[in-house]
Chains A and B, each alone.
Chain A
Amino acid sequence: DTEVTQTPKHLVMGMTNKKSLKCEQHMGHRAMYWYKQKAKKPPELMFVYSYEKLSINESVPSRFSPECPNSSLLNLHLHALQPEDSALYLCASSQGGHLLDGYTFGSGTRLTVV
């Protein structure tokens, strides 16, 4: 299995809702990432998990809460989002967590906040 699977593919949520994005990989990769991508922009780093520990949080608002239950799973919990949070949320993984490995990206969750 050489894929990163993200669910759901599309999500529409209200500003008072709580939802979760899920990401799963079975490649034995030990680093997983959340990126946010707005239209016609590059992916922007949100969170990094390396060996199931949060190793960096790029000053992301607390309405985004990551969780890494085990080395294969990564969740992003969403609460009280704003319309400007509408974007493509990409999960990625890499083999060892050091930056000599290419990333494998999931197909993303396209989030719309209304």
Chain B
Amino acid sequence: GQQVMQIPQYQHVQEGEDFTTYCNSSTTLSNIQWYKQRPGGHPVFLIQLVKSGEVKKQKRLTFQFGEAKKNSSLHITATQTTDVGTYFCAGPNQAGTALIFGKGTTLSVSS
């Protein structure tokens, strides 16, 4: 069945260090979305990528969509304690009716 995989599962960094999470799909995706869930909170939409090779930036966050549209990455430059949380990638299910989520990468940051 369709799978969306993410690595690493956990990442701990010192404040100011960079962080990257990677997302891989077993199938080609029409688009990929990224969400952030703070501890005790709910997922919040960050961004959507649609085009092959697309790169988008939001302040210290850089999102990439692979050329084959089967992988994506989220890079955070100079992490801050406010970046703590779990980052999920999500892609359309096979029926194209809803999103399926990767397992997520949980980021912890120490100051």
Contacts and interface: CB of A to CB of B under 8 A. Distances in A.
Interface residues of A, number: 22
A103 B95 contact: no
Contact of A100 (B44, B48, B93): B48
A100 B50 contact: yes
A103 B99 contact: yes
Interface in A71-114: 90, 98-100, 102-108
Given A42-B88, A45-B93, A107 B99 contact: no
B43 interface: yes
B103 A42 contact: yes
B96 A107 contact: no
Nearest to B48: A102
B31 A99 contact: yes
A56 B33 contact: no
A8 interface: no
Interface string B73-111: 000000000000000100011011111111110100000
B53 to A, nearest CB: 18
A48 B95 CA distance: 12
Interface of B: 30-31, 33, 35, 41-45, 48, 50, 88, 92-93, 95-104, 106
Given A99-B99, A105-B44, 20 more contacts: A42-B101, A42-B103, A43-B43, A45-B93, A45-B98, A45-B100, A48-B97, A48-B98, A50-B97, A55-B97, A56-B95, A90-B42, A99-B31, A100-B48, A100-B50, A102-B45, A102-B48, A103-B35, A103-B45, A105-B43
